[in-house]
């Protein structure tokens, strides 16, 4: 697969001393092999690579001079395998977060579920899929799993949060994954459940196990850990953001 991602920020007035983090450096592991990585910033900025607390690859940039906006681009080629990832699991993936805390409705959604972690996760994904309609514009990045279930609507981020919330009530560690799938035009989100040895991808939006069409970009406890862009700047401008993404067969 060939992947390309571009994020453009526009400011309502010039800003300066802009420091930013661009978290888009897909890992090479059992799930996928990456080569031909390219990172670019316009206006030009050095983009030294580092890793965050969750092991995600990210680039740090700084533009000192006044600017009206910038574009960050990442591209490369990936051989996707769809295999589970054999890896240790930190204890914090079993703990709820502000976005994945379970309420009574989420606990009720999980009633009667049992079995192996991946089987239970797929059964829970089916329940989520039947209760939450995919709909843009009704939730935002602050919407919790409990709020999305109450609304009965949301996007892939909300459904992944719901799956995480339910699994964690069962004592099953799981993590949020941000990545790409063909035909989306933007990032996609799913969960990876831990079976004691491996992370296994489960997508409640598409209602499937992840396969060789899924490119994982980063992972964390929830979507806040996986934000593609974070930054600070000097100035009182308003910021708008535009994203484009694609993944095509080579």
- The string of pLDDT tens digits covering residues 152-203 is 999 999 999 999 999 999 999 999 999 999 998 999 999 999 999 999 999 9
Instruction: Verify that 11 and 111 share a domain, yes or no.
Output: no
Strand partners, 220: 176
Distance between terminal CA atoms of the chain?
A: 5
Torsion (CA) 204, 220, 45, 245 in degrees, nearest 10:
-10
Using CA atoms, how far apart are residues 82 and 157, in angstroms rounded to an integer? 20
pLDDT of residue 139 exceeding 90? yes
Which domain covers residue 77, as residue numbers? 2-81+227-248
Contact 114, 97 (CB under 8 A): no
112/26 same-domain check: no
Task: Measure the CA–CA gap between 52 and 65, rounded to whole angstroms.
Answer: 26
Specify whether 147 is located in the same domain as 168.
yes
Query: 95 with 172, same domain?
Result: yes
Mean pLDDT to the nearest integer, 125-136: 97
CA 6/CA 2 separation, integer angstroms: 14
- Asked if 157 and 91 sit in the same domain, the reply is yes
Q: Give the domain CATH number at 231.
A: 2.60.40.2250
Distance CA 179, CA 190 (A): 8
């Amino acid at each position: 697969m060939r992947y390309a991602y571009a994020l453009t920020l526009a400011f309502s007035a010039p800003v300066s001393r802009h420091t930013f983090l661009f978290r888009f450096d897909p890992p090479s592991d059992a799930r996928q092999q990456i080569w031909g990585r390219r990172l670019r910033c316009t206006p030009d900025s050095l983009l030294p690579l580092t890793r965050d607390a969750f092991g995600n690859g990210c680039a740090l940039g700084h533009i000192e001079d006044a600017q009206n906006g910038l574009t960050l681009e990442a591209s490369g080629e990936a051989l996707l395998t769809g295999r589970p990832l054999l890896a240790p699991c930190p204890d914090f993936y079993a703990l709820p977060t502000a976005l994945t805390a379970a309420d009574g409705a989420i606990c009720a959604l999980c009633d009667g579920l049992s079995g192996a972690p991946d089987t239970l996760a797929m059964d829970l994904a089916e329940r989520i899929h039947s209760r939450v309609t995919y709909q843009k514009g009704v939730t935002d990045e602050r919407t919790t799993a409990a709020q999305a279930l109450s609304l009965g609507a949301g996007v892939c981020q909300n459904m992944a949060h719901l799956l995480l919330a339910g699994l964690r009530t069962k004592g099953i560690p799981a993590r949020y994954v941000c990545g790409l799938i063909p035909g989306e035009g933007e990032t996609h989100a799913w969960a990876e459940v831990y079976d004691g040895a491996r992370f296994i991808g489960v997508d409640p939006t598409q209602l499937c196990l992840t396969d060789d069409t899924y490119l994982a970009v980063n992972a964390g406890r929830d979507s806040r850990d996986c934000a593609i862009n974070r930054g600070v700047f000097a100035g009182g401008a308003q910021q708008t953001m535009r994203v484009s993404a694609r993944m095509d067969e080579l």
